[in-house]
């Protein structure tokens, strides 16, 4: 895949930072306004999908390799679990909001709602990385017709 | 102890994420980490015996928050899931050497165990759906792990049918939520107790039945199973057949119908009918198979029929106001067979895996005469075959005997049920016939030249099959009053309490 025309590439270059900022905004203020980790993660994944479409798969995978995406995916899930398990130690109960004592829920205050912003960040990492991975894996799959007219599935290897 | 309940979900998920993160560099780490994680889970499951309680996750109390509920039935399933899970991990250490990216396999495997543990301990219907999907999606990927044409086809079929089943379950949950305004199982049971059956609830029950029957592979819903089980790697076949169809199918169905929505006599009869249909159709299809693992897969359908027959009979008698002792016997038979089937069917799949590991084929006609080359496998496979056919004193005999006794006792009130007795015994006989065929073609006869140099299965695989064979021989001891009072009776009581589950859970047990 070589990517698309110079018009698309230029527009993409102009809007990419805004898309990224919007995704981060949705994630970081997920506990205050509509949005949250999942929505923000989807927006960030869409940015990478747009870059992949505009510049081609090789270009995107050089900057954001598959193994890094896989690691971020696991890290996101792991952070979520760690936050949940820290509830054991500090609140005496799984998933308890142990930071709420220090950052109680206040309207429009960025540092509020205890552990929920942390959970949002973890979900954002997980969703962004895994949606990007799903896209890349499916874009790399090929169905090859064999001699006996059955189809064989093949995954193109990037590295 | 109840404080440790979330660990049943947290340990496998954490181990899965860590394995995915760290293990592509250090290859042994995946083996050791997974064995440690599942071993810890098994220890935790043993600690839960005889305990019960309610755990509000995050400190949010029952009708609003998500609760984890531990009662007799959950304890039994936790023992099965984590016991077989630990043995399958040990087996995988040697068996999965043939495949690349073993750490990906262990990641998916641990996710599947986490999902099944979640299904078993959750007290919230939507949470149950989420865990059910975690376990199902991990199993779709594991069926396709070989990556060949056959595996992908089986996995795709399983994916489509499994998703249809999940869709039914989700729709049923939505209907129940619409009718009661509750997602907590105890809350739903409280809202429904003492009221007349809403038509919407009856519809939701049927949707639940269809969805969970797909997961449990009962006969009209079974077509994914005979493809998925042979295609998966052997430890996964053992997990799917020994644990997954029970935790996701039978456990969830029994829990929802008995404790959440409430059983009716008609519903009990439908469940019994599904059980009888699965028993007979499964075993008839199994007799003619020449693929070792496909034959075992059809027997899974047939044996699940026994489990569902016992549970359905108990449901029917309880709901129509019959003798509670007879209902208890029927439930005991069903639940004991559930546990026994987990032991002998996983052992059979492990044996099939060992044979395939050394000979490279699982076609019965190409095998033969390997009894001197693989004596341990031969012995354990014989134990498992006799056990599934119901030969005393192995475990399968006891549970089948109890189911037969329950049908005869029930026939005093409902004479038509004597047909069930006859079918149960007949199916057991056909099972014996088909396993004699397996033993004859795999282990006896002339040794083909290609197999002159094969050896016994590797150490970890041998340990697994021997310990499962010991379990098969000894599980009849579960009926000794002390063991029965600790493990089986609480499970039966949990089902027999019916909608009383709601008030007990809301009161914190």
Task: Answer whether residue B310 shows pLDDT above 90.
Answer: yes
DSSP string of B277-325?
HHHHHHHHHHHT--BHHHHHHHHHHHHHHHHHHHHHHHHHHHHTT--HH
pLDDT at A159: 43
Q: Could you report the per-residue pLDDT of B418-466, keeping only the tens digit for each?
A: 998 999 999 999 999 999 988 888 888 888 887 888 888 888 888 999 9
Task: Answer whether residue A116 shows pLDDT above 70.
Answer: yes
Cα angle B26, B31, B32 (rounded to 5 degrees) comes to 90
Contact B149 A81 (CB under 8 A): no
Closest residue by Cα to residue B234 from B293, B318, B172? B293
Instruction: Record the tokens describing residue B363, joined without a space.
Output: 């076609």
Residue that the structure tokens 């090859």 belong to: A144
Task: Answer whether residue A158 shows pLDDT above 60.
Answer: no
> Out of A71, A84, A96, whose CB is closest to B10?
A84
Cα angle B206, B209, B210 (rounded to 5 degrees) comes to 90
- Angle separating helix axes B125-143 and B102-121, nearest 10 degrees: 160
Q: Give percent of chain B with pLDDT exceeding 90.
A: 51
pLDDT at B504: 86
**Structural contact between residues A88 and A127, judged by C-beta atoms closer than 8 angstroms:** no
In angstroms, the separation between the Cα of residue A138 and the nearest Cα of chain B is 15
Task: Answer whether residue A157 shows pLDDT above 80.
Answer: no
Q: How many CB pairs under 8 A join A and B?
A: 49
Q: Could you report the per-residue pLDDT of B53-103, keeping only the tens digit for each?
A: 888 887 787 778 888 999 889 999 999 999 999 999 999 988 888 887 788
Chain A residue whose CA is closest to B24 = A67
Residue that the structure tokens 């057949």 belong to: B241
Chain B hits for A78, CB-CB cut-off 8 Å, are 14, 17-18, 21
In angstroms, the separation between the Cα of residue A55 and the nearest Cα of chain B is 29
Q: Could you report the per-residue pLDDT of B216-255, keeping only the tens digit for each?
A: 999 889 999 999 998 899 999 999 998 999 999 999 999 9
> Out of B6, B13, B24, whose CB is closest to A94?
B6
pLDDT at B363: 87
Contact B20 A70 (CB under 8 A): yes
Contact A96 B59 (CB under 8 A): yes
A144 at the B interface (CB within 8 A)?
no
pLDDT at B28: 80
For residue A20, name the pLDDT band (cuts at 50, 70, 90).
very high
pLDDT at B263: 86
- Residue B89 CB contacts under 8 Å (≥ 6 apart), including other chains: B34, B35, B38, B106, B109, B235
Q: What are the distances in angstroms from CA B305 to CA A51, B211, B279, B313, B484?
A: 53, 16, 4, 12, 23
Q: Could you report the per-residue pLDDT of A51-76, keeping only the tens digit for each?
A: 888 988 888 888 888 888 888 888 99
Q: Could you report the per-residue pLDDT of B466-475, keeping only the tens digit for each?
A: 999 999 988 8
Task: Answer whether residue B207 shows pLDDT above 80.
Answer: yes
Q: Could you report the per-residue pLDDT of B174-197, keeping only the tens digit for each?
A: 999 988 888 999 889 888 887 776
In angstroms, the separation between the Cα of residue B16 and the nearest Cα of chain A is 9
For residue A104, name the pLDDT band (cuts at 50, 70, 90).
confident
């Amino acid at each position: 895949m070589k990517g698309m025309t110079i018009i698309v590439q230029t527009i993409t270059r102009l809007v990419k930072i805004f898309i990224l900022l919007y995704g981060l905004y949705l994630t970081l203020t997920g506990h205050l306004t509509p949005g949250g980790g999942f929505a923000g993660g989807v927006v960030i994944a869409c940015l990478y999908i747009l870059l992949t479409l505009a510049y081609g798969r090789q270009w995107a995978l050089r900057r954001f390799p598959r193994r890094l995406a896989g690691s971020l995916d696991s890290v996101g899930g792991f952070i979520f679990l760690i936050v949940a398990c820290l509830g054991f130690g500090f609140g005496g109960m799984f998933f308890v909001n142990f930071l709420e004592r220090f950052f109680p829920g206040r309207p429009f205050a960025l540092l509020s709602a205890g552990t929920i912003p942390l959970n949002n960040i973890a979900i954002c990492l997980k969703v962004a990385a895994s949606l990007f991975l799903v896209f890349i894996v499916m874009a790399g799959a090929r169905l090859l017709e064999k001699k006996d007219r059955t189809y064989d599935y093949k995954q193109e290897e990037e590295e | 102890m109840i404080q440790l309940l979330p660990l049943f979900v947290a340990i496998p998920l954490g181990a899965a994420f860590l394995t995915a993160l760290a293990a592509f560099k250090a290859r042994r780490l995946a083996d050791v980490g997974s064995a440690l994680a599942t071993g810890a889970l098994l220890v935790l499951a043993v600690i839960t015996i005889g305990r019960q309680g309610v755990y509000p996750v995050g400190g949010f109390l029952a009708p609003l928050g998500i609760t984890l509920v531990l009662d007799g039935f959950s304890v039994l399933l936790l023992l099965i899931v984590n016991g077989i899970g630990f043995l399958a991990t040990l087996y995988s250490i040697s068996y999965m050497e043939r495949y690349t990216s073993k750490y990906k396999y262990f990641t998916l495997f641990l996710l599947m165990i986490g999902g099944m543990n979640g299904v078993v301990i959750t007290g919230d219907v939507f949470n149950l759906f989420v865990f059910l999907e975690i376990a199902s999606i991990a199993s779709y990927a594991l069926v396709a792990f070989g990556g060949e044409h056959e595996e992908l086809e089986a996995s795709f079929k399983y994916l489509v049918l499994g998703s249809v089943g999940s869709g039914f379950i989700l729709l049923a949950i939505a209907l129940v939520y619409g009718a009661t305004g509750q997602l907590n199982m105890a809350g739903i049971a409280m809202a429904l107790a003492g009221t007349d059956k809403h038509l919407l609830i009856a519809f939701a029950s049927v949707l639940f039945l269809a969805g969970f029957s797909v997961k449990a592979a009962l006969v009209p819903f079974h077509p994914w199973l005979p493809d998925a089980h042979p295609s998966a790697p052997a430890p996964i076949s053992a997990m799917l057949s020994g644990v997954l169809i029970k935790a996701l199918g039978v456990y969830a169905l029994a829990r929802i119908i008995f404790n959440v929505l409430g059983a009716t006599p008609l519903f009990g009869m439908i469940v019994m009918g599904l059980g009888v249909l699965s028993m007979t159709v499964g075993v008839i299809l199994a007799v003619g198979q020449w693929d070792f693992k496909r034959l075992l897969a059809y027997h899974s359908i047939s044996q699940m029929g026994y489990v569902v027959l016992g549970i359905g009979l108990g449901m029917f008698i309880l709901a129509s106001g019959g003798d509670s002792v007879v209902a208890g016997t029927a439930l005991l038979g069903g639940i004991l067979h559930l546990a026994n089937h987990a032991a002998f069917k996983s052992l059979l799949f492990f044996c099939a895996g060992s044979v395939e590991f050394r000979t490279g084929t699982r076609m019965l006609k190409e095998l033969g005469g390997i009894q001197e080359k693989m004596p341990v496998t031969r012995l354990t496979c014989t134990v498992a075959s006799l056990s599934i056919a119901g030969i005393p004193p192995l475990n399968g005999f006891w549970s089948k005997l109890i189911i037969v006794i329950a049908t005869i006792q029930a026939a005093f009130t409902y004479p038509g049920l004597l047909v069930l007795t006859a079918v149960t015994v007949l199916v057991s006989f056909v099972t014996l016939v088909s396993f004699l065929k397996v033993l004859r073609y795999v282990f006896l006869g002339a040794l083909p030249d290609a197999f002159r140099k094969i050896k016994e299965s590797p150490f970890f695989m041998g340990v697994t099959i021997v310990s499962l064979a010991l379990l098969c021989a000894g599980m009849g001891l579960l009926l000794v009053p002390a063991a029965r009072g600790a493990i089986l009776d609480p499970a039966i009581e949990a089902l027999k309490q019916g909608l009383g589950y709601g008030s007990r859970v809301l009161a914190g047990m």
